[in-house]
Structure 1
């Protein structure tokens, strides 16, 4: 059984500000719990490898399971301290790639060509490209074998403009996921702000917000089975 590759951010703050950001913890831990229970193992990669910061706000939305995962030696070492570099990844080992969120990804996911190549390779071998919340930023600029945007003509979702306004970050982020997804030809789907929602379109599975990680994982497991 092949593994699932989880992509994490290295970004520690919002652009040129001193405001801290990073991985939204639950978007990793909740997904991992579901896929682990289904028998799938995970590895962790980040654009630069190494240290992965946490968005401090995400710690307000943890439960016992997320904290247990966070406190585990495995997660502390393999995810938060020694995440792998894209160059060290062999895509043939993975059946899916999962882009986590947290605002930090808006700066280091969209234009990382190494991660895009890994995504293309996993899809080419019949695997899945998945994301949750801001993690869709990692899929926005991926292109298919014909040079077209992967999300063009596809049903996807991610952190909406309305949710960005509610989060108070619309003027801070470098772009809006919903706007770019639509510009790149996607059929951007959305539900009520901060309600669980995930959508599958073939080999693409995307979730709207931080409360959608388990929904993405469950759709992926269903597809894999």
Structure 2
């Protein structure tokens, strides 16, 4: 997960230096990516999200941002052929004024808002982000087209996420520890229930 996030930040920085819109938009910088991850983390704390599920949220949100970047820089290949059952992510058309950087960030947010139980809490941060973009000189048309681009990519990532079989876990029987070496069982002092015991059934 850390490697994916580091790669994504590096790609966004590369885009900020080599791919500009006709109106010379200022780069957003890697601090914005860190802020998105931090806000996602805040929501996870609010929701008391367990570690395996948190990893799932981070992975798909970062994947959405990465795919936007990959569509604008051929040195970063799509994850198709690398991830299991991963589809070809269609590039939105007829949005000539979108900002690749802003679209990548908004794709992350759009994905996180849909996947996290309290994802709507991210809307306040998104509103502040877009206000700061306006202050930096982003035209309203650029912001609007960047939103459209982001939503189109996020929708495809969400469809991929929905098919990873996580939604079937709730149908499995309650996990019952079994005796024997190498088997997990609750330990003192908390004797907590297992965390996502069927997570291994999710698409790798």
Q: TM-score, normalised by structure 2?
A: 0.31
User: Greater share of strand residues, 1 or 2?
Assistant: 1
User: Greater share of helix residues, 1 or 2?
Assistant: 2
* Higher RCO (CA 8 Å, separation ≥ 6 residues): 2
Q: TM-score, normalised by structure 1?
A: 0.29
